[in-house]
Amino acid sequence: MWIEIFLMNRDNLLAALDRYIDAITHIMEEFSDAPDGSGGEPDMELVRVSLFPRVAASCLVTTVMEAEKKAGFSFARYAGTGFADFTFPASQPRRATLKVFPINITRWSPCLANIWSA
């Protein structure tokens, strides 16, 4: 059943995946171009459990919002609780997440790139 659903929506899913990758790439470029600031060496565990989920969820929310706008209807009834669970990190207050990081974003960018390419 799921194979048929994905095959029937192949073009839409590929377009959404392209947009999601564009959003991730944009954020990675922004991080890479950020001015050098203060901060120590990045903690990969912190990046994995706090920063990466927020970036991934934020990009997914952006992708879905754009697709919904284009389609003219909400996808919520099709997503179930899985979408809410996956996007939860993006719903957390930004300040709380950023306080955890000694922000020198140019040092964090390679960590995110490493996770993204894994």
What are the domain boundaries of the chain? 8-31+39-117
| Identity of the residue numbered 81 | T
Rounded Cα gap, residues 103 and 98, in angstroms: 8
Against a cut of 0.75, is the pTM above it? no
Rounded Cα gap, residues 109 and 83, in angstroms: 26
Percentage of the chain lying above the pLDDT 70 cut: 59
**What confidence score (pLDDT) does residue 100 get?**
54
**What confidence score (pLDDT) does residue 69 get?**
92
Q: Output 43 or 3, whichever has higher pLDDT.
A: 3
| Least reliable range by pLDDT among 4-8, 26-30, 82-86 | 82-86
**What confidence score (pLDDT) does residue 103 get?**
53
pLDDT, tens digit, for every residue of 42-91? 667 777 777 778 888 888 888 988 988 988 998 877 777 777 666 676 66
The pLDDT of residue 18 is above 70 = yes
Rounded Cα gap, residues 22 and 16, in angstroms: 10
